[in-house]
Amino acid sequence: MKALTTEQVKAILTAARESSTRDWCMLLLTFRHALRSQEVRQLKVSDVDLTNGSVSISRVKGSKSSIQALDRHRGEPLLDSVLAVRLWLKERKEDGSQVLFPSQKGGMMTRMQLGRIFKKYALAVGIHSDLAHPHILRHSLCTVMAEQHADVYAIQQRAGHKNISNTMIYTHISDRQAGDACKAALMSAFQ
């Protein structure tokens, strides 16, 4: 499974933030909530609840919809989804569609438009073209969670996977990691 590094994700988000609050907020939510293109494009303003700090996500492809927290990120404002949404909602011009991230002409943007937006930032920061598609953000979040030893069920919930086997693709570990985990478990069990 291909994924971006945390440095690459930050570089894309930085480029987007410098250019457009809409693009930064849209790509940040795509990453932080493991959204598919259609899921982020169909978000409505009413899906965001800043009072409770949440976003309602309607999943596609048979995945489980959910309400997820909008999170602060102490020390890294670039990853602060509460800040991003607040700033975007202050700038956003109502076009009658109620789409959270409308296209420049109004209404829901197309899959191709989102793809072009992401590709522009990805290529600008040196991401190889085969990784320059917005779906890579979904894989990148799940990969980061797995690398940081998040519970597999937490990854499943965040991505909206109905079947745990879809989540398991992110949990591959090296022989060294398995050895280290075994050693730590034995040291703890046989003190």
Please identify every residue annotated as catalytic.
36, 61, 135, 138, 161, 170
Strands 54-57, 48-49: parallel, antiparallel or unpaired by DSSP?
antiparallel
The residue whose two tokens read 């994700």 is 9
Between CA 155 and CA 146 the distance in angstroms is 7
d(CA 114, CA 41): 8
Return the bridge partners of 54, or none: 49, 69
Q: What would the two tokens of residue 2 be?
A: 């291909």
Instruction: Give 108's strand partners.
Output: 102
**How many Cα atoms are found within 13 Å in the side-chain-facing hemisphere of 121?**
26
Q: How far is CA 178 from the centre of its chain?
A: 27
